[in-house]
Structure 1
Amino acid sequence: MDVVSTSTSPFACKICNQKAHGNHFGVISCRACAAFFRRTASSKWSKMGCRGGSCDQDTYSCKPCRLQKCRDAGMDTTKFQYSRDNIPTVGQFQLPPPSIETYVGRPEFLLFCDTDAPNTKVLIDVRYLLEEAGRILNNGNESPIWADTQLKKLAHAYKFIRVDFENMKMIQHADQKNIMEMWEYYFITVTKWLMYFDEFQKLNRHLQMTLLQSIWHVFQKLHKYVSTMAYRKANPYAKPSHVIIKDLFMDINNVSMDSSWMSDYPHEHVMRYLMVQTCHDFDIIGTLLEIDPTEVELTYLFAQLCFEYAGKRYQGDILKVTESFQEILANDLHHYYVEELNRPRYFLRLAKLLKVNSAIQKAIWESRPKMELGRVFNVLKIDYSHPEMFEDSGFY
Structure 2
Amino acid sequence: MPLGLANFLGRPAFILSCEPDRATRVNTFIDVTFLIHRATDIMSVAESETRRFAAQDSLHRMTRKFCELRKEKDQLKVVKVLGLKESMFFWEQDFLATATWLTHFDELQQLPLNVKMQILKVGWVLWGRLEKLAKTADYRRKKQFGSDCFMIGDDACLDIQDFEVDISWCTNYTKEQLV
Moved over 4 A (4+): none
Of 64, 81, 93, 1:173 maps to 81
In structure 1, C-alpha distance between the alignment counterparts of 2:37 and 2:21, rounded to whole Å: 27
- RMSD between superposed Cα atoms in Å: 2.2
Aligned to 1:2: 20
Change (3 A) 1:249 1:222: same
Aligned to 1:243: 150
Change (3 A) 1:188 1:168: same
In structure 2, C-alpha distance between the alignment counterparts of 1:169 and 1:239, rounded to whole Å: 15
Q: Tell me if structure 1 keeps the 8 A contact 2:65–2:101.
A: yes
Q: Tell me if structure 1 keeps the 8 A contact 2:26–2:170.
A: no
Following superposition, the deviation at residue 144 of structure 1 comes to: 2.3
Aligned to 2:36: 130
Following superposition, the deviation at residue 147 of structure 1 comes to: 3.9
Matched residue SS, 2:20: coil
The one-letter code sitting in structure 1 at the alignment partner of 2:142 is A
Following superposition, the deviation at residue 130 of structure 1 comes to: 0.5
Aligned to 1:162: 70
Following superposition, the deviation at residue 187 of structure 1 comes to: 0.5
Aligned to 1:185: 93
The one-letter code sitting in structure 2 at the alignment partner of 1:204 is P
Change (3 A) 1:205 1:269: farther
Are residue 201 (structure 1) and residue 109 (structure 2) matched?
Answer: yes
Q: Tell me if structure 2 keeps the 8 A contact 1:175–1:258.
A: yes
In structure 1, C-alpha distance between the alignment counterparts of 2:88 and 2:99, rounded to whole Å: 17
In structure 1, C-alpha distance between the alignment counterparts of 2:177 and 2:151, rounded to whole Å: 24
In structure 2, C-alpha distance between the alignment counterparts of 1:163 and 1:148, rounded to whole Å: 21
Following superposition, the deviation at residue 120 of structure 1 comes to: 4.5
| Structure ID, larger Rg | 1
Are residue 121 (structure 1) and residue 27 (structure 2) matched?
Answer: yes
Q: Tell me if structure 2 keeps the 8 A contact 1:242–1:252.
A: yes
Change (3 A) 1:163 1:144: closer
User: Larger relative CO (CA 8 A, sep 6+): 1 or 2?
Assistant: 2
Following superposition, the deviation at residue 205 of structure 1 comes to: 1.1
Aligned to 1:361: none
Matches within 5 A, 1:297-376: none
Q: Tell me if structure 1 keeps the 8 A contact 2:26–2:169.
A: no
User: Runs of 5+ in structure 1 lacking a partner?
Assistant: 5-117, 273-396
In structure 1, C-alpha distance between the alignment counterparts of 2:110 and 2:176, rounded to whole Å: 46
Of 212, 225, 230, 2:120 maps to 212
In the alignment of these two chains, the number of paired residues is 157
In structure 2, C-alpha distance between the alignment counterparts of 1:242 and 1:200, rounded to whole Å: 35
Matched residue SS, 1:249: strand
In structure 2, C-alpha distance between the alignment counterparts of 1:163 and 1:260, rounded to whole Å: 34
In structure 1, C-alpha distance between the alignment counterparts of 2:68 and 2:28, rounded to whole Å: 31
In structure 1, C-alpha distance between the alignment counterparts of 2:101 and 2:60, rounded to whole Å: 12
Q: TM-score, normalised by structure 2?
A: 0.79
Change (3 A) 1:244 1:179: same
Q: Tell me if structure 2 keeps the 8 A contact 1:165–1:231.
A: no
Render the CA deviation track for 1:208-227: whole Å, top value 9, x for unaligned. Answer: 01000001111122112101
Aligned to 1:146: 54
Render the CA deviation track for 1:205-253: whole Å, top value 9, x for unaligned. Answer: 11101000001111122112101001112226x3110111112122111
Aligned to 1:296: none
Matched residue SS, 2:74: helix
Change (3 A) 1:172 1:139: same
Render the CA deviation track for 1:125-144: whole Å, top value 9, x for unaligned. Answer: 11111011111112214352
Matched residue SS, 1:211: helix
